[in-house]
A and B are shown apart, each in its own frame.
Chain A
Amino acid sequence: MTDFGRRRLLAAGGGIALTGALASCGSNTGRGGGASGPALSQWYHQYGEPGTEQAVKRYADAYDKADVTVQWRPGDYDRQTAAALLTDSGPDVFEVNGPTLDQIRGGQVVDLTDQVAPAKDDFNQAVLAPKIWQDKIWAVPQVVDMQLLYYRKSMLEDAGVQPPRTLEELVDAARELTAKGRKDKVKGLFLGNDGGAGALGGTPLYAAGLSVVTEDGKVGFDDPAAARTLGKIHELYADKSLLLGAPADWSDPAAFTQGLTAMQWSGLWALPQVKKALGDDFGVLPFPADGPGGKVAVPVGAYGSAVSARGKHKKEAAEFAKWLWVDRTDYQRDFALSYGFHIPARISLAKKAKELRSGAAADAVAYATDHGYAEPLLWTTASKTAYQDALSRIIKNGANPESELTAVVRKTGTELDRVRKK
């Protein structure tokens, strides 16, 4: 009897497992209704703003030429897509923080030049430029994101400090504000828990009037001004003016709104939260200029909508990307401004948006338009990592900026040679 029971139990368990396995082979698209046309899979990274996921599913539902399934993917999205593009089971349409030059050269994404062509001049050219390789467009910019310096007006006034316009002024202001806030343990500036290497990236180089890679494809920071500027970032760390070890990193405005720091480097996306917490007691600035050839710098970037070259329905996927990110301007506006806070990638939409026409938001948009720079396509991951490692050593360990940058110039030169070779 026991033996029989055990066998029956095993058989029943096996049956249930088999049924489950068969059921999982079915097409659970996660959405109701049924559109005609081929089935397309669309991937997004997980946005923090509530309502965004429902919005993109609503857009997908409204498309009637294909059955589009949205996948909302938490975790390390860039690496997930990079791995998925190697297989046939990846997405058809996906948003990408790029695509990278290697992805384009590796034939992993589809040419979308014809899809973008009707509205090409209406896109923000700073963020469109890194999507172009050999005169072809490889992704449609969705929304523009930018980073900027938030400062607390009341704290600066109490300390008798003016909003900094040069890098020297920023160093001095951070020092003053730290000294003033010592009793309350308020630091002058927050550039991220790593001291700024990750968040700032190439911004200090642009502030010195340089670039990471020049327009004609050469190393853009083989210049003494680069070492001088990065040395000043180290001063901030050496002065103990930087907030370090905050529970939330630079992309979250919590350290600023909780009064742990008087100034913080963060993104435009944080503006609604800052406004809610501090009212009008804050202002925004670009990264201040440094040196005689310097100019203020504002990093801008855009997630783009790209089409996988390994998808079964490339043509239909490209048509969907065009429909959503070129034709349906009402959805783009909704996506940019109804949930989080971004600048629409289309200039005409950004100009019309009333949310972007006053106060700190208007200042931010003006900085992005007048001083925005986007990382060029030729600034590959290998060069970027070598640079950020060097920047980290300069900031935290006080490593010699000249010798550190010499090594990065060499590495970037090798990378530029590699990508030009084929």
Chain B
Amino acid sequence: MIRTLLGAQNRNLWFWVFVGPFAVGLALFTYVPLLWSVWLSFFDAHNTVTPTRFVGLDNYLAMLGDGAFLSSLGTFLLFSAFIVPATYVLSLGLALMVNRVRIAQAFFRSVFFLPTACSYVVASLVWKLSIFNGVRFGLANTVLGWFGADQTAWLSSTDPPWYWLVIVTVRLWLQAGFYMILFLAGLQRISPRLYEAAAVDGAKPGWQTFRHITFPQLRATSVAVVLLLVINAFQAFDEFYNLLSDSRGYPPYARPPLVYLYYIALGSEQNLGLGSAGAVILALIIAVATIVQARWFGLGRKED
């Protein structure tokens, strides 16, 4: 009996020895809180994680009727509209360049990948304090000053909304290298024979080859990259928080959903029922967006 349970060469035992602790951890720290949060979202729970009074869907209705939460979703959409295509194009461009370089390829690969190792908090503070601070000795203002331009309050200006430039560039710098590596792997999987065949058929190297061979061959990688980019954009918190918050709060513009939940529901107000409802709504939106997108791009479908 025990032998059967343990399996051949104790394989089952070793499986549980290695997988068990992680499975327990995952259940304890991810699934239990997740389910608890869903349960809590139907209750009034101010300053407690124990459900107190059943309120049905009131928390959900309050959240969906809250203009600030809806505007935070709008902020996210705008952010995604900037960051997803920009990162996609930049990382693909970098991958094509690095792939083509014949000397010191490893060096260039490392240089572009290196920012990935930097934390969002550190990068945000460098952007905020050194490059895009709004006074005369900020790097960006110094450079613009050479051309006679006035100093710009990059993070405080809403008209024009220069803060988007700061938010988007910091994330681009941090994540383009990572996606470049994914594209490089994709590029290196493309068989050279395809290019040879194309050349024999008279295809010109450059745009024509890229459009008809490289880009279609990168389809699977592209789908994965876009999917990861959208999920990451939804989870944006660190750079927004570190660039725009101060000790007294956070401006209502450029407040993505996670920052909103942190401030309004789960922070010092500790309205945990309402916060849970917001978290569930957000999780559902991410899940639906991911599934729709996966279907759209045919993720997991067999390559034609």
Q: Is B136 in the interface zone, CB < 8 Å from A?
A: yes
A109-166, CB < 8 A from B: none
Complex A-B: 13 CB contacts under 8 Å: A79-B268, A82-B268, A100-B268, A102-B47, A102-B269, A105-B46, A185-B135, A195-B156, A245-B151, A245-B154, A249-B246, A381-B264, A385-B249
Contact B267 A102, beta carbon cutoff 8 Å: no
Contact B49 A245, beta carbon cutoff 8 Å: no
Contact A393 B47, beta carbon cutoff 8 Å: no
Chain B 241-252 near chain A by CB (<8 Å), digits 1 or 0: 000001111011
B53 to A, closest residue via Cβ: A422
User: Chain B: residues with CB nearer than 8 A to chain A?
Assistant: 46-49, 68, 129, 132-136, 138, 151-159, 246-249, 251-253, 263-264, 267-271
Take A185-B151, A245-B138, A246-B135 as given contacts and tell me if A381 and B251 are in contact as well, using a CB distance cutoff of 8 Å: no
Interface of B is mostly: loop
Contact B246 A86, beta carbon cutoff 8 Å: no
Chain A residues whose C-beta falls within 8 Å of the C-beta of B129 in the assembled complex: 247
Contact B133 A86, beta carbon cutoff 8 Å: no
Contact A389 B68, beta carbon cutoff 8 Å: yes
Chain B residues whose C-beta falls within 8 Å of the C-beta of A201 in the assembled complex: 248
- How far, in Å, is B125 (CB) from chain A's closest CB? 10
User: Chain A: residues with CB nearer than 8 A to chain B?
Assistant: 78-79, 82-83, 85-86, 100, 102-103, 105-106, 108, 185, 192-195, 197-199, 201, 243-247, 249-251, 255, 260, 380-382, 385-386, 388-389, 392-393, 396-397
Chain B residues whose C-beta falls within 8 Å of the C-beta of A195 in the assembled complex: 156
Please tell me which one of the listed residues B153, B155, B270 contacts residue A102 in the complex, with CB atoms under 8 A apart. B270
Take A106-B46, A245-B154 as given contacts and tell me if A389 and B252 are in contact as well, using a CB distance cutoff of 8 Å: yes
Take A245-B133, A246-B134, A397-B158 as given contacts and tell me if A194 and B246 are in contact as well, using a CB distance cutoff of 8 Å: yes
Contact B155 A86, beta carbon cutoff 8 Å: no
Give me the 5 closest cross-chain CB pairs, A-B, nearest first. A245-B134, A198-B248, A244-B153, A106-B47, A244-B156
Chain B residues whose C-beta falls within 8 Å of the C-beta of A245 in the assembled complex: 132-135, 138, 151-157
Chain A residues whose C-beta falls within 8 Å of the C-beta of B134 in the assembled complex: 193, 243-246
B52 to A, closest residue via Cβ: A106
Bound Cα distance A243, B49 (Å): 43
Take A185-B151, A397-B159 as given contacts and tell me if A246 and B133 are in contact as well, using a CB distance cutoff of 8 Å: yes
Contact A193 B151, beta carbon cutoff 8 Å: no
Please tell me which one of the listed residues A100, A185, A386, A392 contacts residue B136 in the complex, with CB atoms under 8 A apart. A185
Bound Cα distance A199, B264 (Å): 18
B129 to A, closest residue via Cβ: A247
